[in-house]
Chain A
Amino acid sequence: MNDAEKKNSIAPERLIVVETDGTFIVASEDDPSDWVASFTQDETFAAQEWAERMADLFNLRTQEKWPDDPAKAPPFTGSHHPQNAQSQSQNQTQT
Chain B
Amino acid sequence: MSQETIAQETTSQTTASPESPSSNQGSGNQVSGKKEDVVARLSEFPPGTHRVVKAGRREIGVFNVDGNFYALPNLCTHQLGPLCKGKVSGTIVCSKETEWKLQWGFENEIVTCPWHGMEYHIPTGTCLAFPEIRLRSYEVWVENEEVKVRL
Chain A positions near chain B (C-beta within 8 angstroms): 8-9, 12-13, 31, 34-42, 45, 47, 50, 54, 57-58, 61, 66, 68, 70, 73-74, 76, 82, 94-95
**Which listed segment binds A: B36-44, B74-82, B104-112?**
B74-82
Chain A to chain B: the 5 pairs with minimum beta-carbon distance, closest first: A70-B115, A13-B57, A40-B132, A36-B73, A45-B132
**Assembled-state Cα–Cα distance A60/B85 (Å):** 21
Contact B80 A12 (CB under 8 A): no
Contact B75 A50 (CB under 8 A): no
Contact A34 B151 (CB under 8 A): yes
Contact B133 A37 (CB under 8 A): yes
- The chain A residue with its CB closest to the CB of B57 is A13
Contact B132 A39 (CB under 8 A): yes
- The chain A residue with its CB closest to the CB of B82 is A68
B contacts with A: majority SS? loop
Residue from B56, B133, B151 with most neighbouring chain A CB atoms (10 Å): B133
Q: What is the distance, in angstroms, from A76's C-beta to the closest C-beta of chain B? A: 5
**Assembled-state Cα–Cα distance A45/B81 (Å):** 21
State whether the Cβ of B101 lies closer than 8 Å to any Cβ in chain A. Answer: no
CB-defined interface of B60-102 with A at 8 Å, one 1/0 digit per residue? 0000000000000101011111100100000000000000000
